[in-house]
């Protein structure tokens, strides 16, 4: 006996809408967790200050990720290079440069941690630009508006002056944001070519390999750096755990939705660092910082609602296209 089954376009459309909306919301949640990880990474680096050299920080904290994700890859028999080694290298190298510039900024700048975090969060703008030009993602008017409002929040918070624009460490923070934006778009490109654990391991391994000779040559041989105190070593472990969380959930997020849709949520990192600056470091935060943070949160809520509507619309349109070609199954 044969039984023909037809699946209606409405049913497929409804399930596709729910799945797309769920993926987008998961992407947002993952970005929020990722931003917390990066905020913790910057906070530990800021707490260490210049007591520990830049390249020692880079080597030790990345070795945490190498050990964690290296063990996972070995135990689960997952490839260390994926299907696109060249793309994996670009992602790892640009990520290394991004982290290096941010660590330099948080190590030597005298500006509060919150202001540096605001500067590095401009990576959302670079991500959106790169996604539009390279990945050919469609950027809506709402997304442009959200990024502009978030950037306005940045300007209100930092209140740029000639001194800020000529501060090399603030410029390093912006450079870190630029390379970070490029690296995040490669993550989106790698979603079907490499496991998230592979991507994070490659980033940590390349960063550790690049930092080691500079740490030994510059900081140990030339500057005579010795063993750091246990507290400082634990801070670097904290940096490593923070960046591991940040990188892993960032990779998971960009597998769920387009980079241009998710990137504005990285501004939430500023809200995390605002509370860390207040309650951990006891730094004075001006009223302008609260206004800027409110703008960032409000704009991201708008982006959340707009993103959900766009996801549903896209799923419904795809369902209508499939409706013209009803699927048939045969049960014998």
User: Whole-angstrom Cα distance, residue 146 to residue 299?
Assistant: 5
Sign of CA dihedral 110, 112, 115, 120: positive
> Model confidence over 211-261: pLDDT tens digits?
999 999 988 888 887 888 999 999 999 999 999 999 999 889 988 877 777
Q: How many C-beta atoms surround the C-beta of residue 231 within 10 A?
A: 10
List of residues 6+ apart from 252 with CB closer than 8 A: 30, 196
Query: What pLDDT score was predicted for residue 8?
Result: 46
Check pLDDT > 80 for residue 175.
yes
> Model confidence over 102-152: pLDDT tens digits?
999 888 887 777 778 878 877 877 887 887 788 777 777 887 888 788 778
Check pLDDT > 50 for residue 101.
yes
User: Whole-angstrom Cα distance, residue 56 to residue 189?
Assistant: 31
Strands (E), the chain: 3-7, 327-331
DSSP letter at 220?
I
Weakest mean pLDDT among 7-11, 60-64, 152-156: 7-11
Question: Once rounded to an integer, what is the mean pLDDT over residues 53-70?
Answer: 95
Instruction: Please say whether the beta carbons of 54 and 266 come within 8 A.
Output: no
User: Whole-angstrom Cα distance, residue 23 to residue 26?
Assistant: 5
User: Whole-angstrom Cα distance, residue 23 to residue 315?
Assistant: 12
Check pLDDT > 80 for residue 317.
no
pTM of the model: 0.78
How many angstroms from the chain centroid is the CA of residue 287? 27
List of residues 6+ apart from 145 with CB closer than 8 A: 299, 302
Instruction: Please say whether the beta carbons of 201 and 17 come within 8 A.
Output: no
Most confident of 20-24, 64-68, 249-253: 64-68
């Amino acid at each position: 006996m044969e039984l023909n089954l037809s699946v209606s376009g409405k049913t497929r459309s409804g399930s596709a809408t729910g799945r797309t909306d769920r993926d987008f919301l998961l992407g947002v949640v993952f970005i929020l967790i990722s931003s917390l990880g990066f905020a913790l990474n910057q906070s530990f680096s800021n707490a260490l200050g210049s007591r520990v050299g830049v390249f020692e920080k880079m080597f030790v904290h990345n070795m945490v990720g190498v050990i964690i994700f290296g063990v996972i890859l070995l135990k689960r028999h997952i490839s260390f290079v994926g299907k696109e080694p060249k793309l994996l290298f670009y992602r790892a190298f640009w990520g290394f440069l991004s982290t290096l510039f941010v660590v330099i900024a948080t190590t030597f700048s005298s500006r509060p941690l919150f202001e540096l975090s605001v500067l590095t969060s401009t990576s959302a703008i670079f991500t959106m630009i790169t996604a539009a030009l390279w990945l050919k993602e469609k950027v809506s008017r709402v997304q442009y508006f959200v990024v502009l409002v978030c950037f306005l929040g940045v300007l209100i918070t930092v209140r740029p002056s000639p001194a800020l624009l000529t501060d090399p460490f603030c410029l390093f923070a912006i450079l870190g944001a630029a390379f970070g934006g490029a690296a995040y778009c490669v993550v989106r490109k790698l979603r079907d070519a490499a496991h998230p654990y592979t991507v994070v391991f490659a980033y940590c391994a390349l960063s550790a390999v690049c930092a080691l000779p500079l740490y030994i040559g510059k900081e140990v041989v030339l500057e005579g750096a010795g063993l750091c105190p246990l507290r400082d070593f634990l801070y670097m472990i904290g940096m490593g755990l923070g960046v591991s969380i940040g990188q892993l959930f960032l990779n998971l997020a960009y597998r769920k939705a387009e980079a241009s849709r998710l990137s504005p949520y990285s501004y939430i990192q500023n809200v995390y660092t605002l509370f860390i600056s207040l309650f951990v470091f006891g730094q004075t935060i001006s009223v302008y910082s609260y206004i800027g943070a409110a703008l960032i949160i409000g704009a991201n809520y708008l982006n959340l609602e707009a993103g959900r509507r766009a996801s549903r619309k896209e799923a419904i349109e795809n369902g209508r296209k499939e409706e013209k070609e009803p699927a048939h199954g045969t049960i014998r």
